[in-house]
Structure 1
Amino acid sequence: MMLVVGSLWLTGCSQTNTVNTLSTVQQPLTADGRFKNLYPGEKSYPLTCQQDCYLPQATLSCKTDAPAEQCRYTGPQQWPELDTGFTLRWLGHASFQIQTRDGQQLLLDPVLEQFDWPVNWAFWLSEGFNRQLPAALSEQELAATDAVLYSHIHYDHLNKSDIRRLGAKPHYLVPLAVAEHLPQQQLQITEMAWYSQMQLGALKVHALPAHHFSNRIWVPFLYEDFGDSSWNGWLLEFNGKKLFFAGDTGYSQHFADIQQKYGDIDICLLPIASYHHDTDGDWYRYVHNTPEDALSAAVDLGCKVMIPWGYGNASWKMGDHSSHAPLQRLLTMQQRLQGQPQGLVPLLILNEGDKVKL
């Protein structure tokens, strides 16, 4: 069964959002009408670390080395000269501020404080901590936002309190069936199916597949709204230069598909966290990259530079050993894979709040 989407405009009272839906291809659905991945079923992985995956790294200055907790990366960077016109700042977890050469500012998956209530409360009760506050944007910077892109509706990627703070000025770009989850405050929202695109000034935005899932109703092991909305990666294209944000995703054939359609990617923002869990490791990895999966994805995508995310002092450490265990594993695996394509991926490793022009 496939989804067929046309253009739909919803208007009404003064607080009603305006929603436009763009669809180029038909996204697959399950038999009961829920969104699903392009490549479901049993998976195989090019690489899997079996032992000594978290070796101490001289380039990580940490409060504790085993596990790597509360760290700062102090090592050399490896990225090539790219001149893409993109300036980016990592705010923590999956949140990025992107600025383009023509003066636009975009936010990717901004979650600027904690989870929305009551999940923030439930997380604190179950885990015993809240994340440290991530790198802050000033009110002036927030007011300068032209567009906000969300990859999916999970609480660590979409925060309704941030939307209320950002207000109606930005254009909100979201996956299919996500608009209903945004607060009604006269927002301009475009839902974008996989492989649809739209123009924002000189910037072309492509909605791309990810290998993940969605739900917003948070009851452990009871996901009543599982798959009711879709999940995206995003490709930003500016004067032929490309920045790819993978969103939450496991490793699958979709990375190679993206490279085949769009060519090598200049900047790849790839997740490396939330792949580990003592009781359900296979499920976590199915929908989240391990660090070595991210290196394999970077090869598939032809990344000229890879920027990892998901770890950090302002992370929730969901499905991970510690705040910087994923980065520790990434560095361990890149060193171990020297001579193989995954070991040659140029890495630009940021600390939360770092800003770079590429």
Structure 2
Amino acid sequence: MKFVILSFVLLFCGCAAKNHVETNAPSESVIKRDSTGGFEGRFSNLYANFPSYPITCTTNCYAPTDKIKCEGDMEDCVYRGDNPSLAIDSGFTVRWLGHASFVVTTKEGQQFLFDPVFEQFDWPVNWAFKLADGFFRNPASALSSQEIEQIDAVMYSHIHYDHFNKSDIKHIGNMPSYLVPLGFGEHFPSGGYNITEMAWYAKKALGDTTIHFVPAHHFSSRIMVPFLYEDNDKALWGGWVLERNGKTLFFAGDTGYSAHFKDIGNRFGRIDVCLLPIASYFSESSPKWYRNVHTTPEDTLVAAKELNCGVVIPWGYGNASWQMGDKTSHSALFRLIEMDKQLNNTIPLYILNEGEKVTF
């Protein structure tokens, strides 16, 4: 009987194991705080909302292209165009799982996971959106149990539901390191997770790779209606740079266009591989504030020059996207291809379908 009770206690304690949370906020970190909705000391973007964007597509933004094959009008599509052959020799293999989720593997075998969300939003938001008949998506490309066991670190850009899903954390488990923005750890479920909260321009070495947390121009909240509740901007947001053997990969996270792209480009000199969002993008039907925190495809092309990208892999569109602000599943990709042509862009685009991967 004592053995049964002891086993039950051990099982209960194991399930409720406390997380280990450490803070990485060196003196060189650039953090800005402000008041939000009457609450003081909240995180704030480094720069004011951009008053006038360098380029805005106004006509012929969604020109037909034989590079994309669709079942409907820019819906249920597959990219069939040619991708460039590049000699970057970065040592990074990039697999796009869908929306903002990526697996990045280094030549040495290290494996990193960005913003994993394999299913829908966490409860109760998934239930609310299902009732509203919106923001539901097809399942994203999944990882096998063997692939999950090989993950060295998981990085989250911010706490919004389409980038951070608690049920997926339980699926991934507590073996990898979790690197997150400041103020993020309290949103994790209990389970003995090793969490490092990081300030902008903090860095952490894992094996042969140094991981840098860098700014984005966005916001954070973990509630159903933005801008109305106490958790607004209590957790930071940002992007991630992987650096190994002098080569770099940048995952931008959700962001609007601002001078932070120039700052990142100046700091690292060149970004060999850029994973940049083109959706959810601002459209005519979106609220005016939406472009402040989400890049259009043309904003992304401008940012790529400022980052000095060796190649850009766009993300956010797709058959497993939530279409938040988008016209259709692939409208942003149509717009990107058209603006790439209109602007005579010289930075290579490498366009993936969900589940595909490439080694540079």
TM-score, length of structure 1 as denominator length: 0.92
* Partner Cα distance (1:329, 1:223) in 2: 35
Select which of 353, 356, 359 maps to 1:354.
Answer: 356
Contact 2:50 2:257 in 1 (8 A): no
Cα deviation for residue 345 of structure 1 reads 1.7
Is 1:23 paired with 2:25? yes
**Residue 346 of structure 2: aligned partner:** 344
SS in structure 1 of the partner of residue 214 of structure 2: strand
**Residue 4 of structure 1: aligned partner:** none
* Partner Cα distance (2:310, 2:50) in 1: 30
Matched AA of 1:357: T
Cα deviation for residue 220 of structure 1 reads 5.7
* Partner Cα distance (2:225, 2:63) in 1: 36
Select which of 304, 307, 310 maps to 2:310.
Answer: 304
User: Closer, same or farther in 2 for the Cα pair 1:197/1:128, shift >3 Å?
Assistant: closer
Contact 2:34 2:42 in 1 (8 A): yes
Contact 1:235 1:242 in 2 (8 A): yes
Cα deviation for residue 42 of structure 1 reads 4.4
Contact 1:274 1:284 in 2 (8 A): no
**Residue 182 of structure 2: aligned partner:** 176
* Partner Cα distance (1:192, 1:52) in 2: 42
* Structural RMSD (CA): 1.6
TM-score, length of structure 2 as denominator length: 0.92
**Residue 5 of structure 1: aligned partner:** none
**Residue 52 of structure 1: aligned partner:** 60
**Residue 99 of structure 1: aligned partner:** 105
Cα deviation for residue 167 of structure 1 reads 1.1
Matched AA of 2:21: V
Which one is further off, 190-199 or 98-107? Answer: 98-107
Cα deviation for residue 290 of structure 1 reads 0.1
* Partner Cα distance (1:78, 1:344) in 2: 12
Contact 1:149 1:172 in 2 (8 A): yes
Matched AA of 2:352: L
Which one is further off, 165-174 or 219-228? Answer: 219-228
* Partner Cα distance (2:243, 2:187) in 1: 27
Cα deviation for residue 278 of structure 1 reads 5.0
Which one is further off, 119-128 or 348-357? Answer: 119-128
Which one is further off, 70-79 or 232-241? Answer: 70-79
* Partner Cα distance (2:173, 2:49) in 1: 40
User: Which stretches of structure 1, 4 residues or more, deviate above 3 A after TM superposition?
Assistant: 277-281
Cα deviation for residue 100 of structure 1 reads 1.1
* Partner Cα distance (1:26, 1:344) in 2: 32
Is 1:185 paired with 2:200? no
Which one is further off, 248-257 or 129-138? Answer: 129-138
SS in structure 2 of the partner of residue 107 of structure 1: strand
Listed as ranges, the matches of 1:1-358 within 5 Å are: 15-24=17-26, 25-31=29-35, 32-65=40-73, 68-128=74-134, 130-219=136-225, 222-277=228-283, 279-338=285-344, 343-358=345-360
SS in structure 2 of the partner of residue 316 of structure 1: coil
Contact 1:217 1:224 in 2 (8 A): no
Cα deviation for residue 62 of structure 1 reads 0.5
Contact 1:196 1:206 in 2 (8 A): yes
From the CA coordinates, give the structure whose radius of gyration is larger. 2
Contact 2:178 2:196 in 1 (8 A): yes
Aligned residues between the structures? 341
